[in-house]
Amino acid sequence: MTNELAIKADGLGKRYLLGGAGKNHDSVRDLLVDTVSSVFRRRDPATNSASEFWALNDASFEIRTGENVGIIGLNGAGKSTLLKILSRITEPTRGRARINGRVGALLEVGTGFHPDLTGRENVFLYGAILGMSRQEITEKFEAIVDFSEIRPFIDTPVKRFSSGMYVRLAFAVAAHLEPEILLLDEVLAVGDITFQRKCIDFAKRLQKKNATILFVSHNMFTIKTMCTRVIYLKKGKVHFDGPTDEGIKRFEEDCRLATVPWVKNAKDLPIVVKGVELVDQAGREKAVFEHGERMTVRIQYEALRPVKTPNFIVVFSRSDEVACCNYTSESDKFVIDEVSGKGVIEVQTPPLSLVADTYNISILVREKGFGELLCAQLGGSFHIRHPLFDQNFACSTEQAQWRRIDADVAAAPSDRNAGEPYLVVADERR
């Protein structure tokens, strides 16, 4: 890292007018349509103007050449808007940003791709959009295809690609731009774990070349791996700018008890979670558990009205938002006749078979029979520790029983039970 500035943002703000007002116009036709529709557009009577939403508001920061900065925040915090401004896809409403260096951006799956063109044709199209010359693309074409690992499909129209294939090819093109500044927006979450590692390894090689990397992700494990600094955006503003561990700690504290992102009518739900504690078998509250350890999730709730036979649900989701396991009071035959006012409910997990990673907790409550939603909040996060089982393994690893069968016995279905007995090993974790 040097003292030279790669990015300087000064009071960046991006305003959108709700209801479609103020949108960008790519053609005269779009302008005419928007002009006519504006006559009928709903206005806010208090201000006699269209309702405003500031996706980004007065964001200021400096990033030095060679820094690797994570951009974190809840959905709608302004992370993607910031990267779109820095990559010049959209103009800020106010403020300005100075960029010193060649920028490579991978912001959305298939950005810059034409669905009717083949993978080969889109390599040239997307490369040109990123600023590469045709000669440069031609010289790097084979390396791009090899990196993407989709050579058999390179002459297939990309509209037939899966989202993972889109990401592989798009990242391969962006990677071979050899950018001085790389902007990544959650795109790695689409690819498989092997390709994610390949992309992260590539980003680390760029780091060694003193490249500047801005990385948007909800995966705090990846942020910790790649970034020494985070910018935490909250409702469009820079809430924190500093060391990664401190920024993630503040982010996770703010996430606790927030409404899950997919719920739209949170104010109407009759049950509210007031607190969540994670304790071990000794009753100690903590956030790091060993693989194979039991956990007790203690939920403090308040029912704003009496609710009969509620079904409490606890969901553990991996840092990449893959749901790994859940526990439900109804499925476990634990009947709750009625809840009213304040109360506490606990669930003790079996020995946790989750692999080493960061996990987020969601607390849901539904009516009996997994009916209407009564509560949906985030319950914080925890970490699982294991020296071997990590993201290269499945979501969980459990002990199975093994045995060997001779080949001639296996060939005769009626004799398959004649093999060695299953080897059962006591699991000391349990």
pLDDT of residue 27: 43
Q: What is the pLDDT of residues 196-230, one digit of tens each?
A: 777 777 777 888 888 899 988 877 777 887 888 99
Q: Which domains does the chain have, with CATH numbers?
A: 5-17+45-254 (3.40.50.300), 266-385 (2.70.50.60), 399-430 (no CATH)
Mean pLDDT of the region 227-244: 94
Q: Which of the two residues, 37 and 162, has the higher pLDDT score?
A: 162
pLDDT surpassing 80 at residue 232: yes
Q: Quote the CA–CA distance of 235 and 405 in Å, as a whole number.
A: 61
Closest CA to 394 of 220, 193, 176: 193
- pLDDT category of residue 46 using cuts at 50, 70 and 90: very low
Instruction: Tell me whether residue 230 is exposed, middle or buried, using C-beta atoms within 10 angstroms of its C-beta: 0 to 12, 13 to 18, 19 or more.
Output: buried
What lies within 8 Å, CB to CB, of 392 at 6+ separation is 193, 197
Q: Quote the CA–CA distance of 263 and 266 in Å, as a whole number.
A: 6
pLDDT of residue 10: 95
Q: What is the pLDDT of residues 12-34, one digit of tens each?
A: 999 988 765 545 544 444 444 45
For residue 111, the Cα-to-chain-centroid distance in whole angstroms is: 18
Beta bridge partners of 53: 16
* Residue 170 contacts residue 187 (beta carbons within 8 Å): yes
Q: What is the pLDDT of residues 67-95, one digit of tens each?
A: 999 999 887 789 989 998 998 888 999 99
pLDDT surpassing 50 at residue 429: no
Q: What is the pLDDT of residues 134-161, one digit of tens each?
A: 999 999 999 999 988 899 999 999 999 9
Q: Quote the CA–CA distance of 296 and 287 in Å, as a whole number.
A: 11
For residue 75, the Cα-to-chain-centroid distance in whole angstroms is: 10
pLDDT of residue 369: 92
Mean pLDDT of the region 400-408: 83
Tell the residue number behind the tokens 């034409």, with chain if given. 114
pLDDT surpassing 70 at residue 299: yes
